[in-house]
Amino acid sequence: DGMLVDLTDGEFAVLRAFVERPRRVLARDALLEAARGPDTDAFDRAIDVQVSRLRRKVRSRGDEIIRTIRNEGYFFVPRVIRL
């Protein structure tokens, strides 16, 4: 919608991971690595919190942007067009 949204570094890293791999289910471990690096000691629930915050910040007119896929991870719904 052309609005600027402030994101934390972690939220931006998760969003970037989704945009770089659009319309694919991404496991929590893959998102955790994208957000915090391969040597992180964080738990996968940390990603759940970041995804929840990201959802709130980038909500689009009631449309679902990030879908939870039970026992698998998360799915970025919008199509991504490479420029």
Q: What is the pLDDT of residue 60?
A: 65
pLDDT at 83 over 80: no
Is 17 a domain residue?
A: yes
Is 81 a domain residue?
A: no
Residue 44: give its domain's CATH number: 1.10.10.10
Name the most confidently modeled range: 10-14, 38-42, 72-76.
72-76
- What digits encode the pLDDT tens for the residues 5-29? 899 998 999 999 999 988 999 999 8
CA 61, chain centre distance (Å): 18
Is 82 a domain residue?
A: no
Is 4 a domain residue?
A: no
pLDDT at 68 over 80: yes
What domain range is 48 assigned to?
9-76
Is 25 a domain residue?
A: yes
pLDDT at 72 over 90: yes
Structure tokens at 76: 């970025």
- Count: domains in the chain: 1
Structure tokens at 81: 């067009």
Higher-confidence residue of 79 and 38: namely 79
